[in-house]
């Protein structure tokens, strides 16, 4: 018996849940910045796989870039790179950033 046979609901993917949120972009003022680097640390590189909102990517020069539109402010990147100091991390200004949809 699977969950739907038991009368439950089918599991919802994380991506589908994240799509329910809305985001107010603070144009030109990203709340997370990557400090200039030639080669990213393993910690920073890991963010291309760890960020739940997919904000990090590697460019054609092998450097990590971030587009923080859609950031859910989970703080994972802040914690993971805390020892390397590669990020400048702040919460968005009031009125900007993620608007969570609950329920």
- Answer yes or no whether residue 76 interacts with ligand SF4 by CB under 6 A: yes
Neighbours of 71 (CB within 10 A): 23
Draw the binding track, 29-68, toward ligand SF4 (x: CB under 6 A; -: no contact).
---x------------------xxx-x------------x
The number of residues that bind ligand SF4 (CB under 6 A) is 13
Are 93 and 44 in contact, with CB atoms under 8 Å apart? no
Beta bridge partners of 51: none
Q: In angstroms, what is the minimal distance from the CB of 30 to ligand SF4?
A: 10
SS3 41: coil
Q: Which of 74, 88, 91, 101 binds ligand SF4 (CB under 6 A)?
A: 74
- Answer yes or no whether residue 99 interacts with ligand SF4 by CB under 6 A: no
Neighbours of 67 (CB within 10 A): 13
Are 30 and 39 in contact, with CB atoms under 8 Å apart? no
**Segment (H or E) for 66:** strand 64-66
Q: In angstroms, what is the minimal distance from the CB of 14 to ligand SF4?
A: 12
Contact residues: ligand SF4, CB under 6 A = 32, 51-53, 55, 68, 71-77
């Amino acid at each position: 018996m699977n969950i739907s046979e038991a009368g439950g609901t089918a599991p919802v993917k994380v991506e589908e849940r994240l799509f329910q949120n809305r985001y107010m972009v603070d144009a030109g003022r990203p709340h997370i910045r990557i400090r200039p680097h030639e080669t990213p640390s393993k910690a920073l590189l890991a963010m291309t796989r760890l960020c739940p909102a997919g904000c990090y990517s590697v460019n054609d020069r092998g450097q990590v870039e971030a587009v923080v539109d859609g950031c859910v402010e989970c703080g994972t990147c802040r914690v993971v790179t805390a020892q390397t100091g590669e990020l400048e991390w702040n919460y968005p200004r009031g009125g900007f950033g993620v608007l969570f949809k609950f329920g």
